[in-house]
């Protein structure tokens, strides 16, 4: 891989993991926020309505590549409970913030992440490309874990309007990194958006299987795509110590 000049990374389950209870806590905080805004809701039935709306909107996003947002899911769930509320209503915005406030403290870096980023930063341009509906929360997590200084480019699907594997997001990564597509290595855990998406966009994918190989539970909201593994001879690594030899570098 002598021609590689830049490396792009996925975020969740590639650089960090999320506690398995994070989503349940987040939904509880969302509901408490809505209750505080004078919506009379039954917690269990609203949870179910929210999850159904999330699945519906996420499936549409998977099919058409356009990113969705939690505010639409909340609005749809409220409608099912008799409240017609615009997705841009400030009460929904407050509930979104409450939801994502549960995540930073429940995120932790995968072992060796900071070390590998320090080494790579001296040799390559580094970029981050993540599927995430609410960009302020994603950037907050990145800051919380001390990752921001390592990346020249940070792209969040919620800001781009499209999500991986849509080719538009990979084109933006290539453009912002300022190199040719065949000079970019892209590392991610999820076969469909990360590996197949990167390959189809002309990048060189590396399948990072630390979470899979160590059987680390993944919160449902961050679960992998239905594709179990990419076809063909895609390069696969299970830990960061395997990356440097792949690049012809030493620790």
Per this entry, what is the length of the chain? 251
- Kindly state the greatest CA–CA separation across the chain: 61
8 A C-beta contact, residue 85 and residue 78: yes
CA gap 158, 118 in Å, rounded? 27
Please state whether beta strands 184-188 and 153-156 pair in parallel, antiparallel, or not at all (unpaired). unpaired
DSSP structure string for 115-131: HHHHHHHTTSEEEEEE-
For every one of its 251 residues, what pLDDT tens digit does the chain have, with 9 covering 90 and above? 668 999 999 999 999 999 988 999 999 999 999 999 999 999 999 999 999 999 999 999 999 999 999 999 999 999 999 999 999 999 999 999 999 999 999 999 999 999 999 999 989 999 999 999 999 999 999 999 999 999 999 999 999 999 999 999 999 999 999 999 999 999 999 999 999 999 999 999 999 999 999 988 877 666 555 556 777 789 999 999 999 999 987 77
Question: Whose CA is closest to 12, among 220, 170, 184?
Answer: 220
Q: Would you say the C-alpha torsion 219, 226, 229, 235 has a positive or negative sign? A: negative
CA distances to 180, 185, 244 from 6, in Å: 9, 6, 14
Taking residue 228's Cβ as centre, other Cβ atoms within 10 Å add up to 9
Q: Residue 208 is encoded by which pair of tokens?
A: 């990072």
Residue-range domains of the chain with CATH: 6-20+106-247 (3.40.50.1000), 22-100 (1.10.150)
Strand partners, 235: 206
Taking residue 25's Cβ as centre, other Cβ atoms within 10 Å add up to 16
């Amino acid at each position: 891989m002598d021609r590689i000049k830049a490396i792009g990374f996925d975020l969740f389950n590639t650089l960090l993991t999320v506690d398995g209870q994070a989503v349940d806590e987040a939904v509880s905080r969302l509901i408490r926020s809505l209750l505080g805004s004078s919506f009379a809701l039954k917690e269990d039935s609203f949870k179910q309505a929210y999850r159904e709306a999330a699945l519906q909107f996420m499936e549409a996003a998977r099919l058409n590549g356009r990113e969705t947002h939690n505010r639409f899911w909340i609005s749809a769930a409220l409608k099912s409970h008799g409240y017609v509320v615009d997705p841009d209503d400030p009460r929904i915005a407050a509930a979104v913030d409450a939801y994502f406030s549960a995540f930073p403290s429940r995120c932790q870096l995968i072992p060796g992440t900071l070390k590998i980023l320090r080494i790579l930063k001296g040799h390559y341009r580094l970029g981050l490309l993540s599927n995430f509906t609410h960009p302020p929360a994603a950037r907050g997590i990145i800051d919380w874990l001390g990752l921001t200084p390592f990346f020249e480019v940070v792209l969040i699907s919620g800001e781009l309007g499209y999500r991986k594997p849509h080719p538009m997001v990979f084109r933006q990564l290539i453009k912002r990194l300022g190199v040719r597509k065949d000079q970019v290595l892209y590392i991610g855990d999820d076969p469909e958006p990360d590996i197949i998406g990167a390959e189809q966009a002309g990048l060189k994918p590396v399948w990072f299987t630390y979470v899979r190989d160590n059987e680390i539970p993944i919160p449902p909201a961050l679960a992998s795509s239905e594709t179990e593994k990419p076809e063909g001879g895609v390069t696969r690594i299970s830990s960061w110590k395997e990356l440097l030899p792949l690049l012809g570098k030493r620790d």
